[in-house]
């Protein structure tokens, strides 16, 4: 009898574990980031994502095997290259999307032709976070819709832990003046990231002061005169694989930029643009990269 009782206990435990692994999905009407009601009646099994950050989120949630379509711009993780492309991120092919027979399309809503999916009765959801907190919320939303709510909660918890660690390190550090150059093709009027952008938020969380914080809007141009007056201590250039879109040598050779403390002290850095600009799970890695650039002494 004692042996039978042990076996019964083990069986009960296994049943509980199996039950706990079932998708935490509930048919419901969800509200997306465009305030659209989206009715999800079953766990999506064929998902098209034409937005790199959303595709990264799906893979981070273990949903890569359900992704049947992606954009030409999707490049992470590397295995996305094996997935059928639906074309350009800005204007994906609606015909190609429809041919993949998706039960859910995830978009950021920046492509007007996505609205054509309504006439084809293809369900789509807009995921377009504006803040880092919105990134967390949208990961939770995708988790609920896809039946992996627990995985989403775990992923978000890890991201928040990383972000809190950065803020805790930087809370008593001196504020360092920073400019992030989105596009320095015109060195006299470069494009930068202002209030409302992910970059602006990350600079502040990392113990920096964004000299473009006074500009109107998340993205805009600053004149070289404004930049010289603000005198950044650090210049961050977006790039990939160690190569900036505008080379540091170009700034160093420019007479006006030579007047800034950042150029004088050779504090021009290249950051991985994909970690900083994509509103997905790796954005906290971008935050850490910015923090180590601004306050390297805190990470020794």
Domains of the chain: 24-156 (3.40.50.1980), 172-299 (3.40.50.1980)
- Is there a cis peptide before residue 66, judged by omega within 30 degrees of 0? no
pLDDT at 20: 41
- pTM, rounded to two decimals: 0.88
Beta carbons within 10 angstroms of residue 214's beta carbon: 11
Lowest-confidence region among 51-60, 74-83, 109-118, 241-250: 241-250
- The rounded percent of the chain whose pLDDT value lies above 70 is 90
Contacts of 290 (CB under 8 A, 6+ apart): 202, 203, 206, 208, 236, 271, 276
Q: Are strands 47-49 and 67-69 parallel, antiparallel or unpaired?
A: parallel
The residue-averaged pLDDT of 207-223 equals 91
Mean residue pLDDT of the chain comes to 91
């Amino acid at each position: 009898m004692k042996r039978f009782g042990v076996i019964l206990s083990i069986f009960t435990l296994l049943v509980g574990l199996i039950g706990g692994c079932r998708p935490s999905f509930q048919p419901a009407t969800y509200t997306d980031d465009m305030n659209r009601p989206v009715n999800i009646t079953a766990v999506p099994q064929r998902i098209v994502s034409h937005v790199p950050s959303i595709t990264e989120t799906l893979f981070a949630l273990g949903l890569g095997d359900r992704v049947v379509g992606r954009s030409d711009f999707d490049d992470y993780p590397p295995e996305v290259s094996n997935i059928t492309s639906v074309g350009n991120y800005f204007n994906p092919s609606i015909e190609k999307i429809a041919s993949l027979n998706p039960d859910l399309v995830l978009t950021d809503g920046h492509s007007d032709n996505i609205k054509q999916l309504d006439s084809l009765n293809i369900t789509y959801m807009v995921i377009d976070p504006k803040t880092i907190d919105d990134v967390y919320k949208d990961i939770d939303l995708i988790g609920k819709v896809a039946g992996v709510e627990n995985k989403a909660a775990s992923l978000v918890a890890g991201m928040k832990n990383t972000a809190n660690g950065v803020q805790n390190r930087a809370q008593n550090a001196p504020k360092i003046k920073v400019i992030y150059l989105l596009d320095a093709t015109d060195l006299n009027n470069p494009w930068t990231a202002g209030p409302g952008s992910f970059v602006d938020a990350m600079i502040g969380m990392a113990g920096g002061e964004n000299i473009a914080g006074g500009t109107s809007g998340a993205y805009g141009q600053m004149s070289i005169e404004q930049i010289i007056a603000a005198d950044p201590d650090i210049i961050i250039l977006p790039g990939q694989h160690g190569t900036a879109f505008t080379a540091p040598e170009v700034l160093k050779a420019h007479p006006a930029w030579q007047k800034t403390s950042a150029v004088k002290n050779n504090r021009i850095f290249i950051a991985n643009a994909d970690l900083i600009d994509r509103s997905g799970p790796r954005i906290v890695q971008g935050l850490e990269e910015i923090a180590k650039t601004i306050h390297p002494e805190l990470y020794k």
